[in-house]
Amino acid sequence: MRGIQLRALRQFADSAGLQRLPRGTRTWTAQYGHVRGAWVQAKGAGVSNGIVLHLHGGGFTFGSPRSHRSFALVMSRRTGRPVFLPSYRRAPEHPYPAAADDCLIVYRRLLDRGIPAHRIVLSGDSAGGHLAACLLGDLKRQRLPMPSHAVFLSPWLDLSAELATARDVVRRDPFVPPEALKRCRRAYLGDRDVRAERLAVLKSDKTGWPPTLIQAGDTECLLDDARQFAESFRAAEIRCELQEWPGQVHAFPLFSNLVPEGRQAIRYIADFVSV
């Protein structure tokens, strides 16, 4: 992944955050350990309802709190909770395990600051879905309290991209080519084995994990990632709901200002995490 191309991609992704936020929205920066990030709180939302910790996507190489600010606002408005977007370290400047370690640090510091785990909803989109799954695995191994719910939006979980490649042969993804996933994997992992315990989140034992919602579009090459992930929850007898949205592309809830299905998906997320 060339430096000039990556800089352009990061700038393009961050341009999504240039949209003016409506009056009454609160945004502020915070730091947990060495990890900075941004809070987004819609008018009427409050920490008394709990919080959402959202791990942004971007193939581990781009995306930021700025790129996901508008999405976080809609999530905050619908759930009634402020949303924290950590600015975890990105590849290739900071390869694995930097991003995964940063997410664990943020979660632990939130607990230290007095936010109980049962008031935290953990969510992640695309590569952020892998980071969310990695975090849940870390919490289980370290015997730390789990969040109340987990939400995965078009998660990229098989970092080998073998599932995505096979799926793309059956139905070509109009948005995310598997080759792009492989480039991102190389930037993030180098020659590390994707079968290592911390990375192999797809089929890991989900015993003790929180109730989980998985949303994916049926046009995307990552659909089988979502399906196999859901199966691993059923094997552990953990509540898990998989939604396959007809005609929708990768991470479509992020485009709720453009597609009505995105708005419907976020409303469903709000309902799911409220019980």
- Catalytic site residues? 126
Q: Which of 271, 145, 162 lies closest to 225, judged by CA?
A: 162
CB neighbour list of residue 188: distance below 8 Å, 6 or more residues apart:
59, 60, 61, 91, 92, 95, 96, 99, 127, 159
Q: Which of 155, 141, 139, 195 lies closest to 54, judged by CA?
A: 155
Sheet of strand 51-55, all strands in order from the earlier edge strand to the far edge: 26-32, 35-41, 83-86, 51-55, 120-125, 149-153, 212-217, 240-245
Written as one letter, the residue type at 239 is: R
SS3 sequence, 121-171? EEEEECHHHHHHHHHHHHHHHCCCCCCCEEEEECCCCCCCCHHHHHHHHHC
